[in-house]
Structure 1
Amino acid sequence: MLTAMLLTSLASAAPDDGLPPTIAIIIDDMGHSLTEGQRLVDLEQPITLAFLPYRRHTTVLAEAAHRRQKEIMLHAPMANTRNFGLGPGGLDAGMNQLATTTTLRRALSSVPHVRGVNNHMGSLLTQMQANMDWVMAELTHYPLYFVDSRTIASSIAARTAAAHQIPTLSRDVFLDHEQTEEYVDAQFQRLIAQARKNGTAIGIGHPHRVTVDYLEKILPTLDEQGIAVATVSGIWAIRNDNREMFAEGEKRTISPALARKE
């Protein structure tokens, strides 16, 4: 099957190799629901799972996802304009640089096998230049990419990450603002249309039952539609002439010991 082959071959394929339109699907808010989380882990396709730090099921699901060759991200809680609570590991707008760096470092160390970061909420923090510089300065120490979830149109997160030379991508389509199959399907078709137009596209969904039900049904049909599924790293490779994100040994890995360093 095309999707299965891409799981092992996308990292070595160049954009001009005649690849089909390719989508990445990021599932945010992982770690709360064991049932829906395990269903997502068990999907055959190489979706990318973004875990909230310190949630009840984050560690066990991230370990299971890694065994199933899923790509894993930290879904970093960031301050929003509506004052919704951030939960543990949240980056508040009132934090200074040390508090921001320490909180982010500890959150990164709490998610096993993390390869990248995206923002959970963040409509306030992602507009704040100093805070975004602090976040990206910390991320430069690790072999991590950053995806701007673009929870607000005026986000500067992606631009700031790029300025810090962090491999950077942005969300194209939210899949499930409304939790009905009709809405999710319409958004998924938008994602496919964008991939057909531009070559690649990134969608973000959540572990809602309707979303998981839809993905279980639609993903096995994509091969016959000529659509491939890749990890976020795979999309980055397609868009960047098959360059390696990081040279081997270039940056330190994330470990619990780093979380204790202040």
Structure 2
Amino acid sequence: MDPSRLERNVIRDDVVRVLLGMGIAPNVLEGLPELPAEIEGLLVYGSQARGDAVPGSDLDLLGLVNAPRPSTHSGDVNISYYTRDQLSTGVGTLFGAHLKRDAKIVWDNHGHLSRAVENMGEVDTDRLLARAHRMSELFTSLERDLPKYLPGLLRQARYLLRSCLYAQAIADGDPCFSVRELAVRHGDPNLARLLASSQPGEATCADFEECLSGLRGIIGDFPPSEHGSLEATVVNEWEQPSDVLSMAVMALGVTVEGSDYAEVEKILL
């Protein structure tokens, strides 16, 4: 057997044992893929880390690596890979606050992952909402972008609404990173379904309009698109990487490994 493959298998087996000890259900771990041999650390976050997972909840993992690599999804398991430099951009962000509040370290060879999480700091919610407002310009050229890009636009609208609701909770002094808890707080049972990361079935205009309505209620009217369409936004913004560019690329669904577009950095709200 290839020694590197053997090392990856050993790493995976060790991770499974630790995650089982954390209470992760064995059927969820069936989807855990082999991990890269160069991985330096791993943590679990989200509902599985908080202990409020329900049947069907995904397992969200973050792996620390030396060089950028694409995220992977297998079964109920999502693994996002970050370098130390990429993680450092999470300081003061919603994503960083989520990790600092909920994440559990699975293993950390050199302590780099633990230190990165500890240094995430506090969220500037006013700045976050202002960034979300700028990103929302992508929803003002719908006559050119729908119905072709409805799935991607809905995914990004859901992401922004979820992020803004989390930011509101932090600003109110009662942080929350659970969509089910948000649904309870807002007295809207449908909110948990609308904001869930994993969505069964096809994207619908009704869900899209509901997300946009929720967003407007938080950040106000969306600014007009500077470029007139998602495709034009990518072309015109490509030489000047920005939040709007990253949102447009992901709304287009152009994330194939090997494409130039795959080099766009992850958004960290």
Query: Does the TM-score normalized on the shorter chain lie above 0.5?
Result: no
Q: Relative contact order, CA 8 A, sep 6+: which one is greater?
A: 1
Larger Rg: 2
| Larger strand fraction of residues | 1
What TM-score do you get using the length of structure 2 for normalisation? 0.24
